[in-house]
Structure formats: C-alpha cells, structure tokens
C-alpha cells in the first residue's frame, strides 16, 4: 500500500498485508513469550512487576507525590502517618511519602546507569582480554585482582572522595567497583567460545579480530550480559543507599533512600520510627524485585547457570 503526496508516491512500510501480518506475528510471539515467562517463573514475573511499579513511580513522581520533596508542610515536624500525610513527616517537616516517591528517581537513575556502565565496561574488557590473551590478558587480570582486594564500599568511597560528591560521580564510582567481577565472568565465557569452529571459520576467511569479537563472539555472551545487568542493578541500589547513609552518596537536595535513614534522622528513630521504616521498605522492595527478576531471567536464558550467583562481592 502507498500514499500519494502531490506527485510523489511514498510507500507505507506497514501498509502491505504482508508487513502487517509480520508485525502481528511478532507481537503475538512476544505476548506468548511473556505469558510463558509468567507461567514458568511466577516469582520472577512478580519481581518484574515490582520493578515496573517503581519505574512508573519514578516517571510519574510529580503526579503521584502530593508535595515536592523539599517542601515544608503546614502540619509541622514528626507528624505520624495519617490521612493528611500518608507516611507522616520527617524531623524538619517534609512529607515522607513524597520524598520516598522522588527518591525512587534517584535510586533507579543511579542503579540503572551504574549497572549499565559497570557491566558494559567490564564486558568489553573481559571480551578483549580473553580473545587477545597474552600481555593484555595478564595486565587486565592483575589490575582486576588489585581492585578486588578492596571492599566495595571502601573502593566506592575512595573514588567519590577523589572525584567529588555529585550524582554523576556516584554513578561512575559504583560502576567502576562493579567492573572487576564482570571482567572475570565475561572472560570465562569468551574463553569457552573463542575456539569454536564458526570463530575459526571467520578467522580463516580473513575477518578482523574486531569483527570476530563483535559479530561472532559477543552475541554468544548476551545471556550472561543480561544476567549481570539485572544482578548489578540490584547491587547498585544497595551501594548507593549505603554511600548516602554514610554521607558520601548523592548530595542534597536530591532525595535518596539511604540519606533518609542517616544523619540527624537517626536521632529520631525511637520517637518517630516511620522516618526510617518507609524508606527502608522501599529500598528492600526494589532490591527484592530486582533479585527475583534477575534469578528468573538467569534460569530462562541459560539453565546451566541455575543456582549460581552473579551478584557483586560483599561490601
């Protein structure tokens, strides 16, 4: 099917019956895939639903939250949960529900960005070092061993201290501390693939190393890459909250779940426990949902990895 604009005839890519049938077929396949995932991995589907709820909350924060996260409400400070303030107010008179809702943005932006950065950088380093071998592989592995010698929080705090406190620097710091484990996992995956016959065939016909790595080796590691991303998103949420709790995370006025549980807030725990409880519940749910979804995704994409863990090392 084509559309006429004056003397010009423009073909509509979805106008032909064949294209429409192809689109409907792909949509039906995607729908069946989602339905199969839900039926086979109900806990994983529940985890995915939790993450979707948090993503929607982050996007619609100005609509969902009754107040801006820095607004001081007329009811005053340390107001208990009730009809006027669903989750109460904090020690300076800010609505906790609104702050937790806006804090979802900070946690998801940091977690997704840091998880993606760490997994991508680590994946590329692991791919290159395993494929090339030799001096490059030895140098990369020794560097990763040095980084692995430091606890996650200590290394992240050091990087933030050097770069300065900002959301971007927190993302960079968390992403970098996730790199070493990704390098080791991807290296092991590539070592099992690079000597396969189809790789040797590509090498025999004159394909460059870069083309072989990107075209033939990397696609075989996509399942592991996706598993690593989901695992490290959950860990990035925890590390960001821990950094904010210690006072070296995302700086004010950006609301952070970890910061809501730290600082002067701790002086009011016994008097007003809701100040800590609701940010802690949001943090726990986000991590729980990401872990459930990541475990289910691991089992579906690569059943050989069932029961293994690709989470970051202990802090």
Q: Which spans in 133-221 are helix H?
A: 134-148, 152-163, 167-191, 197-204, 209-211
Q: Specify the DSSP class assigned to residue 151.
A: -
pTM (predicted TM-score) = 0.80
Run of H or E residues at 237: helix 222-245
Q: Are 202 and 211 in contact (CB under 8 A)?
A: yes
Q: What is the DSSP letter of 3?
A: E
Q: Cβ–Cβ contacts within 10 Å for residue 119, how many?
A: 28
Q: H/E element holding 9?
A: strand 8-11
3-class DSSP state for residue 5?
A: strand
Question: Could you count the other beta carbons within 10 Å of the beta carbon of residue 93?
Answer: 16
* Cβ contact 247:263 at 8 Å: yes
Cis peptide before 253 (omega within 30 of 0): yes
Tokens of 88: 């109460």
Homologous superfamily, domain 43-305: MetI-like (1.10.3720.10)
CA-to-CA distance for 216 and 256, rounded, in angstroms? 42
* Chain segment 59-108, per-residue pLDDT in tens: 999 999 998 888 888 777 788 888 788 888 888 888 899 999 999 999 89
How many C-beta atoms lie closer than 10 Å to residue 87's C-beta? 23
- The single-letter DSSP state of residue 95 is B
pLDDT along the chain (315 residues), means of 10: 48 57 66 71 88 93 90 80 84 88 91 91 91 89 91 90 89 93 90 83 84 85 83 88 85 84 70 87 92 84 57 53
pLDDT in tens, 25-55: 676 666 676 777 677 888 888 988 999 999 9
Q: What element of type H or E holds 222?
A: helix 222-245
CB atoms within 10 A of CB 185: 22
């Amino acid at each position: 099917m084509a559309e006429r604009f004056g003397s010009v005839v423009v073909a509509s890519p979805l106008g032909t019956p064949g294209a429409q049938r192809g689109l409907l077929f792909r949509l039906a396949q995607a729908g069946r895939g989602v339905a199969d995932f839900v039926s086979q991995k109900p806990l994983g589907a529940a985890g995915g639903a939790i993450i979707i709820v948090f993503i929607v909350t982050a996007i619609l924060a100005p609509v969902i939250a009754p107040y801006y996260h820095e607004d001081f409400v007329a009811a005053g400070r340390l107001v208990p949960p009730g009809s006027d303030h669903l989750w109460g107010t904090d020690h300076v008179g800010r609505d906790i529900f609104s702050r937790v809702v806006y804090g979802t943005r900070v946690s998801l932006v940091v977690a997704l960005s840091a998880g993606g950065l760490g997994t991508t950088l680590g994946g590329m380093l692991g791919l290159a070092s395993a494929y090339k071998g030799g001096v490059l592989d030895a140098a990369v592995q020794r560097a990763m061993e040095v980084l692995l010698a430091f606890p996650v929080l200590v290394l992240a705090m050091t990087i933030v201290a050097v770069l300065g406190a900002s959301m971007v620097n927190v993302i960079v710091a968390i992403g970098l501390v996730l790199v070493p484990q990704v390098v080791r996992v991807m290296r092991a995956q590539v070592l099992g693939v690079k000597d396969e016959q189809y790789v040797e065939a590509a090498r025999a016909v004159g394909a460059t190393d870069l083309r072989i790595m990107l075209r033939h080796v990397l696609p075989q590691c996509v399942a592991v890459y996706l598993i690593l991303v989901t695992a490290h998103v959950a860990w990035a949420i925890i590390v960001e909250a821990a950094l904010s709790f210690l006072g070296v995370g995302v700086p004010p006025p950006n609301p952070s779940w970890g910061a809501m549980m730290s600082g002067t807030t701790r002086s009011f725990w016994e008097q007003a426990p809701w100040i800590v409880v609701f940010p802690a519940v949001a943090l726990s749910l986000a991590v729980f949902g990401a872990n459930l979804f990541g475990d289910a995704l691991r089992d579906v994409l690569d059943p050989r990895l069932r029961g293994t863990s690709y989470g970051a090392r202990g802090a």
